[in-house]
Amino acid sequence: MQGRPTPGRPGRLETGAVAVRCAKAGFGPPGSASRAWRFLVLQAIVIMTIACWVAGVRAQPVVPDAGRGDAWLDQACPVPDELQYSEAELPRLAAHLDPGRMADSPVPIVVVGAGSSAGAGLASPDDAYPARLKDELRHRFPGLSFDVRVLARRGDRVADMLRRLRAEVIPRRPALVVWQIGAADAVSGVPINAFGRQVSQGIELLHGAGIDLVLLDMQYNPFTDMLINAREYRGYVRWIAKRDKVPLLRRYEMMESWAEQELIDLSSRDAGVRVRTAQTVHACVAGRLAQLIRRVVDATPR
């Protein structure tokens, strides 16, 4: 990027580029000896640099701390009411958490997914939403502990995850599975009907084994819909979740809302801002996921 920052992003100015462009455009006097011209150019550079620095500061997201409650979550990463509503149930998990049947051992949870579940784009896997989910759940279920295991591999499609559900997840007998799906299938161009059949098979496999699950759709990116047909896959996941009464965290729409509110900057080229944004997104997703689980468990008939 040369000469001027992209609107809304922290930019890096190359000081000579402004003078060169202006001179080529005929706005400056011939020769480089004009003190007035050099002063005006320097003044413009200073003003634009300050503007870029301010934009960078404003773009820095706030990473919510785990366990600070719904009030803090609503302040740091608010979402529209319709994205929090769910008619789903978690009967098997609710029974597992019943005080009369509660064991002393941690509640076992398995996260199955692809790159984002593995912590892609983060400085440490400890910043990823599965690691943060453990603390968020402890806050919402006092007196309980949780063991969250991650089975995630970048690029895995639903067909790949079905094999892992059979071979690695069901034998563990977790109380809950968080299943992140959609992006890899959309990128690979998996036919939408095949994608839907495979998701349904996964739900049947887990329910048949007495395991509840929560679905998590793909991440939002400003350019996603221009590159892949993401909307069709997201719509299919929402339809299946409603049909089978499976809780769905609508991550894509939540992230889209945060971006529109300028709570996160998904367009920045600054490496520090990008890491900070990823940390914020994962912290918010973990909090919203734990909040969804608590609400659905509370609403599930005993």
Domain ranges of the chain: 15-59, 70-299
Q: Quick check: 210 pLDDT over 80?
A: yes
Tens digits of residue pLDDT in 284-297: 999 999 999 999 99
Residues 43-62 pLDDT 10s: 443 343 333 333 333 344 55
Residue 22 has pLDDT above 70, yes or no: no
Q: Mean pLDDT across the stretch 62-81?
A: 75
pLDDT of residue 132: 93
CATH fit for domain 70-299, picks 3.40.50.720, 3.40.50.970, 3.40.50.1110, 3.40.640.10? 3.40.50.1110
pLDDT in tens, 138-180: 999 988 889 999 998 889 999 999 999 999 999 999 999 999 9
Indicate the pLDDT class of residue 274, thresholds 50, 70 and 90: confident
Q: How far, CA to CA in Å, does 224 sit from each of 27, 158, 219?
A: 40, 19, 9
Q: Residue 227's pLDDT is what? A: 81
pTM: 0.77
Per-residue pLDDT, 67: 54
Burial class (CB in 10 A: 0-12, 13-18, 19+), 99: exposed
